[in-house]
């Protein structure tokens, strides 16, 4: 994509300035049609809006406008029908469409490009494409959120160990754990919505970099293409790629969230944990070890996160040193965005499928929730509440009880009252009631806590947010 805006010809698209044709290697490095053909629908949509505006402004005759619009319809049908003759020597999707339009309708095709440049044309096309990608990704994340909410509601009271440092810390519920990912995905959707709002300005009419002398109506083309307004500065209009960077940034953060959940699925499905299992639909076997069921979908999501992060880094590096306005470097803005969008579409679909597919081993989770002295904090809290003990002292009492149980090879709940009183004489029989995992999670009733009551409330609230604002 560049500001070479003359009528296309197979030998020299950029007109009379050049006497000879480009070297073969120049054609190869310069062409982008192999990847930017994905912009065809957006390119034709933008051309239609531009054509109609030119007619309304008396820059094109109605007859030329009708011919152009009819020709664009035919070009679109050919592309969608697989009959369009893409040509590398025409460089990009814009020149391919225009050249075919000229073959179909003749001279009026050359008037379509009045008052625009490939610079503002590609900026418009790319914004439209990224906007569509954001909408698709947001819808996919809504489906993943719904799957997480269904599971969280189902397992609002299913006890499991909560971890810090991957060490058993305190009992939580599986529903509470999944609701943490609902919050993460909600922020991902919010970031996408913010990015969409900022990108939703039209660069069309910025022309090559300085605007145009023709009496165009930029507000009209912006409105027809669903933009909120035209961009305010023509230099920024053709050179800005913040919208692509924001999309990639939001995608990379979302991919990290998917990767964290994928990592947990890998851990949970292992023989050492056995918290959950996945069916044949989302696992593979081993060529020599028949007992194995490998969580390959989750592992691949972890790996693909690196690709999305790499896509973000690639475009950041492309853009970091570019002077205003347009430089050919920006031709390389699309491939990382296309790859990230494709990768995220696949990863979100796979994660949604796994969440709906998994089987929860509640008995194993419950047993693990009570191992590792996970209710030690509960006895410390009891000491604070009942004995009015300073909080800084209470963990020392609980820690001494843990050491006693550990030395004797039993759980906290297996210590006798007499044994516990050798550590703290004020401990009474009712303290033993707080040592069960069910009472532990039920007691965590603070806002955002793991108590089943709070988890169910959180599910209801999240469903309402999803219905009302999509987050």
Nearest-angstrom CA–CA distance, 401 and 391 = 16
Q: Is the peptide bond before 325 cis (omega within 30 degrees of 0)?
A: yes
Contacts of 110 (CB under 8 A, 6+ apart): 7, 102
Residue 329 near residue 3 (C-beta atoms within 8 A):
no
Question: Which of 228, 164, 183 lies closest to 202 in space, CA to CA?
Answer: 228
Residue 459 near residue 179 (C-beta atoms within 8 A):
yes
Quick one: which H or E segment has residue 315?
helix 296-319
Q: What is the CA radius of gyration of the chain?
A: 31
Contacts of 398 (CB under 8 A, 6+ apart): 376, 377, 379, 380, 383
Positions annotated as catalytic residues are 165, 286
Nearest-angstrom CA–CA distance, 116 and 125 = 13
With left for phi above 0 and alpha for psi between -120 and 50, is residue 18 left, alpha or beta? beta
> Which residue has tokens 């590398």?
88
With left for phi above 0 and alpha for psi between -120 and 50, is residue 106 left, alpha or beta? left
Angle at 73 between CA 57 and CA 110, to 5 degrees: 50
Burial class (CB in 10 A: 0-12, 13-18, 19+), 455: buried
With left for phi above 0 and alpha for psi between -120 and 50, is residue 226 left, alpha or beta? left
Quick one: which H or E segment has residue 41?
helix 40-56
């Amino acid at each position: 994509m560049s500001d070479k805006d003359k009528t296309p010809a197979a030998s020299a698209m950029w007109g009379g300035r050049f006497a000879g044709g480009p070297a073969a290697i120049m054609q190869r490095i310069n062409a982008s049609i192999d990847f930017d053909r994905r912009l065809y629908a957006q390119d034709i949509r933008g051309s239609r809006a531009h054509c109609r505006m030119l007619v309304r402004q008396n820059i094109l005759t109605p007859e030329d406008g009708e011919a152009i619009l009819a020709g664009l319809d035919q070009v679109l049908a050919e592309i969608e029908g697989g009959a369009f003759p893409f040509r590398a020597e025409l460089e990009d999707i814009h020149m391919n469409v225009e050249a075919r339009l000229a073959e179909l309708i003749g001279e009026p095709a050359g008037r379509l490009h009045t008052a625009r440049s490939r610079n503002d044309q590609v900026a418009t096309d790319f914004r439209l494409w990224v906007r569509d990608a954001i909408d698709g990704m947001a819808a996919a994340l809504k489906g993943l959120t719904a799957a997480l909410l269904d599971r969280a509601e189902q397992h609002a009271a299913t006890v499991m160990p909560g971890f810090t440092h991957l060490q058993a810390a305190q009992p939580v519920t599986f529903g509470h754990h999944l609701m943490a990912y609902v919050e993460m995905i909600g922020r991902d959707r919010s970031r996408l919505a913010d990015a969409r709002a900022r990108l939703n300005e039209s660069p069309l009419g910025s022309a090559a970099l300085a605007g145009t002398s023709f009496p165009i109506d930029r507000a009209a083309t912006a409105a027809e293409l669903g933009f909120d307004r035209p961009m305010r500065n023509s230099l920024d209009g053709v050179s800005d790629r913040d919208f692509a960077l924001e999309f990639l940034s939001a995608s990379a953060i979302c991919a990290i969230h998917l990767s964290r959940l994928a990592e947990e699925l890998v851990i949970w499905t292992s023989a050492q944990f056995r918290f959950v299992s996945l069916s044949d639909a989302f696992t593979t076997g081993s060529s020599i070890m028949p007992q194995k069921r490998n969580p390959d979908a989750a592992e691949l999501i972890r790996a693909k996160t690196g690709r999305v992060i790499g896509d973000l880094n690639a475009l950041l590096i492309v853009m970091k040193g570019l002077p205003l306005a347009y430089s050919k470097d920006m031709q390389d803005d699309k491939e990382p965005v296309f790859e990230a969008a494709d990768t995220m579409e696949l990863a979100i679909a796979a994660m949604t499928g796994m969440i709906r597919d998994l089987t929860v081993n509640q008995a194993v989770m419950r047993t693990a929730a009570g191992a590792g002295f996970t209710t030690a904090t509960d006895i410390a809290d009891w000491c604070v509440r009942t004995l009015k003990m300073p909080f800084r002292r209470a963990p020392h009492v609980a820690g001494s009880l843990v050491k006693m149980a550990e030395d004797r090879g039993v759980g906290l709940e297996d210590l006798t009252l007499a044994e516990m009183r050798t550590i703290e004489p004020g401990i009474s029989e009712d303290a033993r009631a707080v040592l069960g995992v069910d009472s532990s999670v039920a007691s965590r009733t603070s806002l955002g806590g793991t108590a089943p009551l709070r988890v169910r409330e959180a599910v209801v609230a999240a469903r309402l947010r999803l219905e009302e604002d999509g987050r």
